[in-house]
Amino acid sequence: MNHIFKNIDKQLLGIYFLLVILGIFSIFSTTYDENYSSIFSLSKSYGKQIMWFGISSCIGIVILLLDKEFIKKSIPVFYAFTMLLLVLVLLIGTERNGAKAWFGVGSFGIQPAEFAKISVSLMVALFISNTNTILLRQQTRVWLSIIIFMPVFLILRQPDLGTVLVFLGFILVLYREGIIGNVLLYGLLLVIVGVVSLLIKDTITPFFGFLVHAHYIFIFTLIVVAILVTMGVNVTTYQRYRKNKYIRIILVTLAAIVLVPMMKYGFEKIPENHYQRVRIEIILGLKQDPRGVGYNSHQALSAIGSGKFLGKGYKNATLANDTYSQVPEQSTDFIFCTVAEEWGFLGGFILFSMYMVLILKIISIAERQRSTFNRVFAYSIASIFFIHFAINIGMVLGLAPIIGIPLPFFSYGGSSLLSFSIMIFLLLKFDSDRLESFR
């Protein structure tokens, strides 16, 4: 036992405990009720969060004491069990906020999708590290797609779009392992093309003396860029490699050209007052709706702005707390607003920096692994944390759609805290055994 605790990464463990404790105090500040002044009161969210922290710590200790080979042998069973839970929750789960994603008992609930993130991370790591797996085979990509997208399909049925987006983070893992080549880059380019298409959807502009729809100019620009890239490939690439690159350039260019009118056509098919269309228009700056669909973002930005540089002080928030309830979900998805209002820009920046340190620390742990399994799992965890962090902060700042995704360790939620804690303790366990691992 002493050997296990001696080899664990104490910096990562320290960051974990610091974020969880700060998160509990933020929840306490946000939902404080003088009738339940004890921070351990299970009638309030902060008491429940402490309870889940205790449960998470106990499970973490058990994980550190388990044999790594036992954990690896249990992965397929754990994966199958989480898939079964995702099916059962659709049949007998409790519906909350329009999503049938919970097993509820009174005021407590468990969300199986949170644990599916862990099982998929473990299963992907196990599959890639298998000695019989040849990474560049098409069959490998098919199996990995099944492993990742099976839970995605079930979660979409709930529906829970926020959790589905988290699973897209596994693309970063596959990119790191060289399995999907430049697909990530091509996907990013097409996303940019789609966003630009929406921004210019109704724009008419002069072009060489003629009034032309901006979409045609954009398509012309894409063709010119493709020609320039082709000329660059012709100069910088050996002749035997040029054919494949030409084919990729042509396919990506054709996809982009088709995407431009499709985005306009598809967007116009959505009813003008539909909340999804309005949210997209608000995010892109095409519409202002501070009292309607854009209410959450407007109130969140108001709370953040009111904190100024140094904030109003602990438990002094006047917008992001239960007393005034000006910011919806301030103890869960929008808890960053409480931090920014109480501690200002400085406090928000420090919290932002802490998450960056956490993610970079996990990446550094991944890179020092001697085992493929350990490395892939560590990168999976880093990707999950990054997606959660980026979307949650972007959502609060009005840079991402409001889809309900928690800030790790800070947002109130037992399933969320427990799943993130298990990820960290599994990583600590695998990293502590790294000198004995080669696969």
pLDDT-based confidence at 359, cuts 50/70/90? very high
What value does the mean pLDDT take over residues 339-348?
87
Task: State the Cα torsion 13-111-337-319 to the nearest 10°.
Answer: -140
pLDDT-based confidence at 204, cuts 50/70/90? confident
Range among 89-93, 150-154, 172-176, 337-341 rated most confident:
150-154
Q: Quickly count: other Cβ atoms within 10 Å of residue 2's Cβ.
A: 6
Rg (CA), the chain: 24
User: Does pLDDT of 340 surpass 80?
Assistant: yes
User: Does pLDDT of 239 surpass 90?
Assistant: no
The predicted-structure confidence for 257-296, as pLDDT tens digits, reads as follows 888 788 777 766 666 666 556 666 666 666 655 555 556 6
99 forms beta bridges with: 96
| Contact assessment for residue 163 and residue 89, using Cβ atoms and an 8 Å cutoff | no
In this predicted structure, what is the pLDDT of residue 19? 94
User: Does pLDDT of 142 surpass 90?
Assistant: no
pLDDT-based confidence at 96, cuts 50/70/90? confident
Q: Which long-range contacts (CB under 8 A, 24 or more apart) does 320-324 make?
A: 320/30, 321/29, 321/30, 321/31, 321/32, 322/30, 322/31, 322/32, 322/33, 323/32
User: Does pLDDT of 402 surpass 80?
Assistant: no
- Position with higher pLDDT, 2 vs 149: 149
For residues 281 and 437, what is the distance between their CA atoms, to the nearest angstrom?
Answer: 50
Residue ranges of alpha helices (H) inside 168-289 are 170-176, 183-199, 214-236, 239-269, 275-283
Which of 260, 291, 142 lies closest to 196 in space, CA to CA?
260
Residue type, position 159, single letter: P
